[in-house]
């Protein structure tokens, strides 16, 4: 195993917490396609942590295959919640074993630094609240507190020190404010995440969307997602990034969120969910055998060439037990 600093070693002392189940609030809010509107928010907020940004900038191929990385990462990240086994969390943790280095100021970083790893986790679980507040479904204060309590079980699945975890929801909000006002920084990794104008069309659309047409519309898509992401940011983050947000923007943002919630509500509940989340639902209902192989990302999302053997990537050998079914060919239609 790669040599780790003492505080970055896998946690063997914290008590094990049970995996989240179908009765949890997290199962109800996580895995919804509305979360795709949070993509630039999640990626940029994570990269605002100086150490996390350094690791991404030095080690990740994210900027060379952003669509594929995003689409395939949804599977193991969702699986930490929905697979109901600690094994998925350990696998996600171990993708980060070799990601370490020295920052521009001479400080050291490691992806398994608990403070760094918890920050990334915080953007995922707290993103559920941000998403529900902005795009629905309506969320109560009780559900917010339940999501926080359950986020500890979720984080424990990684097997990393629980030291950074706040004890209460109120303490977490203080932690979040502290991060937004005192710790987070602008970085080239942040700006690169926010700029999608140089991206090719998504893998699932390349067969039918001409490149020239994508190039014409991606500038508009960029403006829309930049506006959405600005609306999701806390005000201190907007100020740090030099972004403006007016009362008129906020009114439009609320209307946009209501429209998103109404549109999603027209879909059958099954098709509001990401494939890995829906796969978990299928095991509960008997649509899929409980002991069937986990649903993995389609082949088109896998790393290319030598990168497939790089241990920092999630790259299952068998990409899907149902690869020949039409709905499995396209995440959007799943």
For residue 139, being part of any structural domain is answered with yes
Q: What is the pLDDT of residues 148-197, one digit of tens each?
A: 999 999 999 999 999 999 999 999 999 999 999 999 999 999 999 999 99
Classify residue 152: in a domain, yes or no. Answer: yes
For 57, the 3-state DSSP assignment is: helix
The count of domains in the chain is: 1
Within-domain flag for 301: yes
In a domain, 11, yes or no: no
Over residues 207-262, the pLDDT tens digits come to 889 989 999 999 999 999 999 999 999 999 999 999 999 999 999 999 999 999 99
Instruction: Please give the distance of CA 260 from its chain centroid, rounded to a whole number.
Output: 19
Asked, for residue 84, whether it belongs to a domain, the answer is: yes
Question: For residue 52, what pLDDT band results from cuts at 50, 70 and 90?
Answer: very high
Structural domain containing residue 140: 25-194+247-309
With 0.85 as the threshold, say if the pTM is over it. yes
Inside any domain, residue 240: no
288 inside domain: yes
3-state SS of the chain? CCCCCHHHCCCCCCCCCCCCCCCCHHHHHCCEHHHHHHHHHHHHHHHCCHHHHHHHHHHCCHHHCHHHHHHHHHHHHHHHHHCCCHHHHHHHHHCCCCCEEECCCCCEEECCCHHHHHHHHHHHHHHHHHHHHHHCCCCCHHHHHHHHHHHHHHHHCCCCCCCCCCCCHHHHHHHHHHHHHHHCCCCHHHHHHHCCCCCCCCHHHCCCCCHHHHHHHHHHHHHHHHHHHHHHCCHHHHHHHCCCCCHHHHHHHHHHHHHHHHHHHCCCHHHHECHHHHHHHHHHHCCCCCCCCCCCCCHHHCCCHHHHHCCCCCCCCCCCCCCCCHHHHCHHHC
* Residue 164 lies inside a defined structural domain of this protein: yes
């Amino acid at each position: 195993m790669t040599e780790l600093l003492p505080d970055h070693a896998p946690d063997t002392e914290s008590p094990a917490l049970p995996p989240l189940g179908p009765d949890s609030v997290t199962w109800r809010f996580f895995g919804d396609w509305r979360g795709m509107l949070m993509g630039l928010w999640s990626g940029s907020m994570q990269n605002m942590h100086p150490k996390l940004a350094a690791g991404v900038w030095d080690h990740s191929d994210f900027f060379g295959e952003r669509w594929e990385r995003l689409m395939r990462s949804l599977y193991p990240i969702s699986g930490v919640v929905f697979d109901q086994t600690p094994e998925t969390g350990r696998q996600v943790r171990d993708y980060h074993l070799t990601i370490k280095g020295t920052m521009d100021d001479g400080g050291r970083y490691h992806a398994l630094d608990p403070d760094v790893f918890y920050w990334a986790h915080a953007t995922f679980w707290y993103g559920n609240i941000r998403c529900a507040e902005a795009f629905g479904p309506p969320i109560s204060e009780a559900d917010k507190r339940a999501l926080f309590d359950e986020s500890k079980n979720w984080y424990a699945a990684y097997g990393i020190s629980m030291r950074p975890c706040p004890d209460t929801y109120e303490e977490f909000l203080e932690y979040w404010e502290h991060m937004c006002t005192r710790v987070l920084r602008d970085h080239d990794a942040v700006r690169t995440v926010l700029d999608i104008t140089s991206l090719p069309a998504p893998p699932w659309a390349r067969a039918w969307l001409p490149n020239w047409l994508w190039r014409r519309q991606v500038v508009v898509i960029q403006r829309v997602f930049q506006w959405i992401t600005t609306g999701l940011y806390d005000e201190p983050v907007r100020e740090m990034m030099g972004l403006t947000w007016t009362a008129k923007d906020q009114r439009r943002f609320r209307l946009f969120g209501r429209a998103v919630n109404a549109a999603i509500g027209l879909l059958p509940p099954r098709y509001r969910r990401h494939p890995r989340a829906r796969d978990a639902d299928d095991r509960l209902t008997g649509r899929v055998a409980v002991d069937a192989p986990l649903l993995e990302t389609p082949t088109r999302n896998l790393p290319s060439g030598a990168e497939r053997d790089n241990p920092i990537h999630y790259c299952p050998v068998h990409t899907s037990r149902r690869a020949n079914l039409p709905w499995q060919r396209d995440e959007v239609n799943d």
